[in-house]
Structure 1
Amino acid sequence: MTLLLDGEQVMGKNLKITANLRIEADDMSGQTSNTDTAHKGFKPKTLAVTLMIPFVDSAQLRTLMRLAEATAGGGQLKMYRIVNDTAAAFGIREVQFSDGVSAREADTQAAWLVQFTLSEKASNPEKVEQRRAANGVSAQSAPGQAVGGSANAAGTGADQELSGFEKTLKKLDDYLAPQA
């Protein structure tokens, strides 16, 4: 199996890649035994990579670390075009390193056991979500006036319909506190 990131081969022995697609859902059962869930979307696909790099090939580990630490403009992690059969089968084209890179010494061999995760960028669900028209927000109002406002806040209260009692109170208010 081959793993290429922007055309640069990730070298190592026993390369194993596990692809994951996380589907977010919330339990809607409350305190019942109902099995209803609310679908909350698809999260980016990930590729968990494990491989072994012999101690004598330490340059391979340095190359992998250089790829993992690479940044693009603005200090963001570099995005890589990926070539791998598992990634292609999952529809993954662009990835970034995520969740760190670990290398531990093997128990019985003179080698590092290396693990890292590549996370999909610009996934198909993400592109679909961005193309989807945003839900319009309609203005909400309730009867009455805004908190902290007064009937005469806009200069004149002519745009509001007052009941007979409110008209009497307004006349009294205007008499006691005339507008300057």
Structure 2
Amino acid sequence: MTLLLDGEQILGKKMKVTGNLRIEAADMSGQTSNTQTAHKGFKPKTLAVSLMIPFVDQVQLRTIMRLAEATAGGGQLKMYRIVNDTAAAFGIREVQFSEGISAREDDTLAAWLVQFTLSEKESNPEKVEQRRATNGVSSQSAPGQAVGGSGGAVGAGGEVGNGQELSGFEKTLKKLDDYLAPKT
């Protein structure tokens, strides 16, 4: 099995790469025995890698540690282009190290059993979600006129700015309003 990260080959014996896709769902049953769930999206795919590195090849373990500790601009984890059959089958092109690395000594062989996880970066569901158009807010209006502005201004003959005549009661209120608060 071949595993290349940015063209650098990860070497080890008995290498196994396991692909995972986590699908988030929430239980909607409450206190009932209903089986309905709410789909909450796809999480990034991951590749769990396990391999054995003999003690004499400790340079290979150092290489993995160097790649895992590498950072890009701004202190973010470095992203790697991956070449691997399982990654290709899962549609994974770019990964970064996640969830740590473990290397424990084998009980019978003079070797480390190394495990690490690579997490997909810029996944297809993530790209689709970014391209999806957001629901815009539509303006709402109610019947009638807007308060304030020139739409409700009353003209000299007791007319509203749009040519609508005031009723007798409205004319009386207008006179009272003008008397109490004269316009300057």
TM-score interval, smaller chain: 0.7 to 0.9
Distance 1:108 1:139, change over 3 A: farther
Partners of 1:42 and 1:96 in 2: how far apart?
A: 18
Gapped regions of structure 1 (runs ≥ 5): 142-153, 160-170, 176-180
Gapped regions of structure 2 (runs ≥ 5): 142-147, 154-175
Partners of 2:80 and 2:50 in 1: how far apart?
A: 18
Counterpart mapping for 1:1-180 below 5 A: 1-137=1-137
Report how many residues are paired: 163
TM-score by length of 2: 0.76
TM-score by length of 1: 0.78
Deviation digits for residues 42-66 of structure 1 (CA, Å, limit 9, x no counterpart): 0000000000000000000000100
1:138 shift after superposition = 5.0
1:103 shift after superposition = 0.3
SS in 1 for 2:57: helix
Compare CA radii of gyration and give the structure with the larger one. 2
Distance 1:110 1:131, change over 3 A: same
Partners of 2:140 and 2:34 in 1: how far apart?
A: 34
Aligned residue in 2 for 1:167: none
SS in 2 for 1:126: helix
Deviation digits for residues 141-165 of structure 1 (CA, Å, limit 9, x no counterpart): 9xxxxxxxxxxxx9xxx89xxxxxx
RMSD: 3.0
Partners of 1:98 and 1:134 in 2: how far apart?
A: 30
Kindly report structure 1 stretches of 4+ aligned residues shifted beyond 6 Å.
none
SS in 2 for 1:109: coil
